[in-house]
Amino acid sequence: MTRPITLFTGQWADLPFEEVCQLAGDWGYDGLEIATWGDHLEIDKAMEDDGYLQTRLDILEKNGLKVWAISNHLVGQAVCDDPIDHRHKDMVPGDIWGDGDPEGVRQRAAERTKDVARVAAKLGVKTVTGFAGSSIWKYVAMFPPVGDDVIQAGYQDFADRWNPILDVFDEVGVRYAHETHPSEIAFDYWSTKAALEAIGHREAFGINWDPSHMVWQQVDPVGYILDFHERIYHVHCKDTKVRLAGGRNGRLSSLLPWADPRRGWDFISVGHGDVPWEDAFRALNAIGYDGPLSVEWEDAGMDRLVGAPDALEFVKKLNFSAPEAAFDAAFASGN
């Protein structure tokens, strides 16, 4: 089992798609997880002109790259979020923002997400990664107090908004891999269970496993793989470094910017943090995961032109296959 190693282009969308492809190809990546922002993959163009998609495929081929997943993180966030505000205006395409009416933004984001599924199918891609948003993340501190009816209504809102989207994913044979992430409907272990239950465990909705969001919450990323093994549709290789020693840095990081030494944790380039990567890769072997390992480079203390090739070499070393036979089979008398 040789899993492809890809580069997620979300943090590279300030560069032209062709330049990112050239960089990734020169470094030795197998392919890309293509972001649907910047000029990397414009969904409106793809829906209007099949020739546009061919230009993306041609650029990939020219650089020896393939695509196994595309990302819907930014638009997906707006499907369920409450409030919808200036943060979303800065994040989603202008036609999704429109006049900024919150419910209109949510509905347009939902329709665009359906189109992302259709474009993925045209590309021959079976997985869309992304966020789902949440109307109840704002209650995470549980103060001022809210009743359980409010929380359950949030999960129902998620189901009501995403089930029609997932109907389209089913129609075109594509799956949505939701990234377990703070600010989402599924942000830790138990909220993942609740979200899956809310949509009736339908197969169109699974998980983009990203351990960087689990480590600082003290959620075991390896146990998460094993318990949700049927739902691991995609993998992000991103790391986190926790710095709580000294008693001043807090787990919520005090609203401080990335890389500030007073933060309790930071995203960091793969292999430089606290994720138990070898145990995680062995767990992925155990569940038979053979999809891409997508390097999501985020590190405010390292240049990305250093971090991306460094991450690739780290992941390569651990991307070993499970053995075809037990090691102690050689001890059998018949051998």
pLDDT value at 302 more than 90: yes
Mean pLDDT along residues 192-206: 98
pLDDT digits (tens, 9 = 90+) for 13-29: 999 999 999 999 999 99
297-320 CB burial, b ≥16 within 10 A, e <16: bbbeebebeebbbbbbebbeebbe
**Residue in 119, 127, 81, 75 with CA at minimum distance from that of residue 231:** 127
- Predicted confidence band at 329 (pLDDT cuts at 50, 70, 90)? low
**From 3.30.110.60, 3.40.50.150, 3.30.479.30, 3.20.20.150, which CATH number describes the 5-331 domain?**
3.20.20.150
- In the chain, count of helices (H) and strands (E)? 13, 10
Return all residues near 26 (Cβ < 8 A) that are at least 6 apart. 63
DSSP-derived secondary structure for 282-317: HHHHHTT--S-EEE----TTS-HHHHHHHHHHHHHH
Q: What is the mean pLDDT of residues 93-104?
A: 98
Q: What are the C-alpha distances in Å from 7 to residues 33, 66, 303?
A: 6, 11, 15
Q: What is the mean pLDDT of residues 225-242?
A: 98
pLDDT for residue 292:
98
pLDDT of residue 322: 75
Distance of CA 85 to the CA centre of its chain: 23
State the average pLDDT over residues 291-314. 97
C-alpha closest to that of 84 among 205, 196, 183, 198: 183
pLDDT of 1 above 60: no
Tell me the three state secondary structure of residue 25: helix
Which pLDDT belongs to residue 326? 63
> Could you give the CA distance from residue 195 to residue 205 in angstroms, rounded to a whole number?
10
Asked whether the whole model's pTM tops 0.85, one would answer: yes
Alpha-carbon distance of 59 to 65, in angstroms, equals: 8
Residue 10 — very low, low, confident or very high, per pLDDT cuts 50/70/90? Answer: very high
Residue 327 reports pLDDT greater than 70? no
- Helices (DSSP H) in the chain: which residue ranges? 17-27, 43-48, 50-62, 73-80, 86-89, 94-97, 102-123, 148-172, 189-198, 212-215, 221-227, 277-286, 304-318
Provide the mean pLDDT of the chain: 96
CB atoms within 10 A of CB 54: 11
- In three-state secondary structure terms, 220 is coil
pLDDT, tens only, 47-70:
999 899 999 999 999 999 999 999
Quote the pLDDT of residue 227. 98
Q: What is the pLDDT of residues 165-191, one digit of tens each?
A: 999 999 999 999 999 999 999 999 999
Give 330's pLDDT tier (boundaries 50, 70, 90): low
